[in-house]
Amino acid sequence: MATSTSVPALTPQAASGLREFLVGSLMSETAATRNVILAITNPQFKIDDKARAAIEIAQHIVGVEVQFLHEIAEGAFKMEPRYPNLPTDPKALVAWYDAELPKATQALQKMTPDQLAAVLDFYGAFQFPAVMYVNFAVKHSVHHRGQLATYLRPMGSKVPSIYGGSADEPWQG
């Protein structure tokens, strides 16, 4: 695995402002994430034998997002899942997400500007200021939400609006 060669330098003040922007970006994605998870009609549906089941992708999205945000606030990343027994029902999983995500974002909001600007190591692959990893959380969730959205029609579900209308949920403008 290649390692990063340069660390984007951030002042504590800049890191604090970036936190507000990135947490806002994360929060703007959560409605679409919830809607895609709630659209799951067959939690065990797999697009391929090598693929994860729909509910496993949904669990991965919300579990990793909440864990990753807590780990940013704690200043260290851990590979082992913090939440190994997430709900297997889409509605219950969204309820868990709705209860736990505010705690994780609160942990980020409690970080001092100096903590946000402090460089964290991500398994030797990246060394970035802590706040920059919030963007990783956003990208990770969006990536896997896209995977999950591709499962919906083949499982017989309707695709919700994500960034605009879908064939199943036209944009109302």
pLDDT at residue 14 is higher than 80: yes
Percentage of the chain exceeding pLDDT 90: 88
Whether the per-residue pLDDT at 115 is higher than 70: the answer is yes
The residue-averaged pLDDT of 52-60 equals 98
Instruction: Please report the pLDDT score of residue 134 as a whole number.
Output: 97
Evaluate if residue 166 carries a pLDDT over 80: yes
Q: What is the pLDDT of residue 116?
A: 97
Instruction: Quote the pLDDT of residue 173.
Output: 73
Does 39 have pLDDT greater than 90? yes
Residue boundaries of the structural domains of the chain: 12-152
The three-state DSSP-derived secondary structure of the chain is: CCCCCCCCCCCHHHHHHHHHHHHHHHHHHHHHHHHHHHCCCCCCCCCCCCCCCHHHHHHHHHHHHHHHHHHHHHCCCCCCCCCCCCCCCHHHHHHHHHHHHHHHHHHHHCCCHHHHHCEEEECCCEEEECCHHHHHHHHHHHHHHHHHHHHHCCCCCCCCCCCCCCCCCCCCC
pLDDT, average across residues 34-53: 97
The pLDDT of residue 8 is: 64
pTM of the predicted structure, to 2 decimals: 0.92
| pLDDT band at residue 79 under the 50/70/90 scheme | confident
Q: What is the mean pLDDT of the chain?
A: 93
Q: Which CATH class is domain 12-152?
A: mainly alpha
95 band by pLDDT with thresholds 50, 70 and 90: very high
pLDDT at 22 over 60: yes
